[in-house]
Amino acid sequence: MKQQITDFIYSHREDMMEIIKQLVEIPSVKGTPEPGAPFGAEPRRALDKMLEICRRYGFVTGCHDDVMGTADYDPAGKIGLGILCHLDVVPAEPRNWSYPPFQLTRREGKLFGRGVIDDKGPCAAALCALWCVKELGLPLKKGVRLLFGTDEENGSEDLEIYRRGNKLPPMVFTPDGSFPVINIEKGMIRADICGEYVPGSVLSFTGGSIPNAVPDKAEAVISGISYEEIRAVIPLNTTGAVLTLDRSPDGTVTLHCSGRSAHASTPQTGINAVTALISVLNKLPLADGEQREIFRGLERMFPFGETDGRSAALKIEDKESGALTLTFSKFAMNDGKISGCIDIRYPVSAQLSDVVERLSAALESAGVHYGKNMEEEPHCVPEDSEFVQKLLRVYSEVEGEPGRCIAIGGGTYVHTVEGGVAFGVERGDTDYHMHGNDEFITEDELLRDAVLFACAIADICG
């Protein structure tokens, strides 16, 4: 059967490439809500295109509350497996790409374009896998439902809306993570930082732009300290970040700090420009007062280079899911008002209420306050469950290497789906530039993905 499936998938390579091409050409970034398009016109256009393609391949389709599309193959009369994909993408700035981001480019076996790996390529692979099962007439005892969402990148409200009136299949996997199988996802806390202060030497501070990434830029405008005084301190700084100064005619000095961005689930791979700049400011002779004490408190609780939360009494680790990570992702101080964000990924053994309490205490100690933004429990599916074991067996048989379960700090599309796991599509330590410039995946990987999905359908539903 595996050879039959492989031959079919590879002989229809160009069909898959055409599907991906049509999807990538739609810039399905979240936009302004409008009638019939809660997440904007382009995500809805991508959904309509995908459902049109699915009908062309002979599947029964549905559009639910204008946010989620479905395509069913149900010869047995009962859906048993769901494959949950998404058609929305993150923004792309064309001038930073080597190729047009909203156009499929094929170069030396690679596919370039926004969404080729996250998640339009996997959408096409899942569709081709189901088409393969149908065309080969592989016997199924349970049917399959493909689900195509339109808001995964911005909080998965689409899934929440869909589930209000529709039940998900008893087994669900998403090709929106990594192989072999992601069965554990850490809990997530996104805390708003808020507060007020009496202004001092720092006229303004801004750093970070998104809540779930290590900030790579921060800047502060300083008054009352000369350029020469600041210049004398900067060579003593050993943060690893790049610092530059600008003098203004009004006597103020702007400090620019550049670090290295990284996903909040792996903050140890980045260089945090916000905490680096706070460390530098604390080396300057800032005016006495509340503002100076806040900077000192923030460095005491969240020192530069620390990503495990130990200084804030948040060092927690377990064997199943690893250590807690903490990212000071955004911070701003302007006109007496403070705002910012802390991103935490905590292990399955920790209690949400305990982590929130510790973080709140740390922020209060630094002179600011905790504001609830997002608080999610960990997601865990037992490794010995029949569903997980079948996926691992399929992976091992198709890929020719042992399948294993992995735990991650990030959240996949099934984070709130009971029993749901991620099955693909990243492999190993490859940097696919997901969410970045020149996002790519190889053609061969997507073909192998389709083979894996078809074999999984045949094994689980056959």
Token match 């732009």: residue?
Answer: 209
pLDDT of residue 238: 57
Helix (H) / strand (E) containing 271 = none
18 vs 128: CA distance, rounded Å: 11
441 vs 400: CA distance, rounded Å: 20
pLDDT of residue 237: 59
Catalytic residues: 88, 152
pLDDT of residue 411: 84
pLDDT of residue 96: 84
Q: How many CB atoms lie within 10 A of CB 303?
A: 15
Q: How many CA atoms lie within 13 A of 66 on its CB side?
A: 12
> Which residue ranges in the chain fall short of pLDDT 50?
none
SS3 sequence of 346-366 = ECCCCCHHHHHHHHHHHHHHH
Q: What is the DSSP string of 4-45?
A: HHHHHHHHTHHHHHHHHHHHHTS--B----BTTBTT-HHHHH
SS3 sequence of 128-160 = HHHHHHHHHCCCCCCEEEEEEECCHHHCCHHHH
Kindly state the tokens that stand for 217.
Answer: 């830029």
Kindly state the tokens that stand for 120.
Answer: 């339009």
Q: How many CB atoms lie within 10 A of CB 346?
A: 31
Kindly state the tokens that stand for 148.
Answer: 């195509």
pLDDT of residue 46: 98
Token match 């693909």: residue?
Answer: 424
pTM above 0.95, yes or no: no
pLDDT of residue 234: 77
427 vs 425: CA distance, rounded Å: 6
Q: What is the pLDDT of residues 80-123, one digit of tens each?
A: 999 999 999 988 889 889 999 999 999 999 999 999 999 999 99
Length of the chain: 462
- Smallest Cα–Cα separation from 64: which of 168, 172, 170, 173? 168
289 vs 364: CA distance, rounded Å: 17
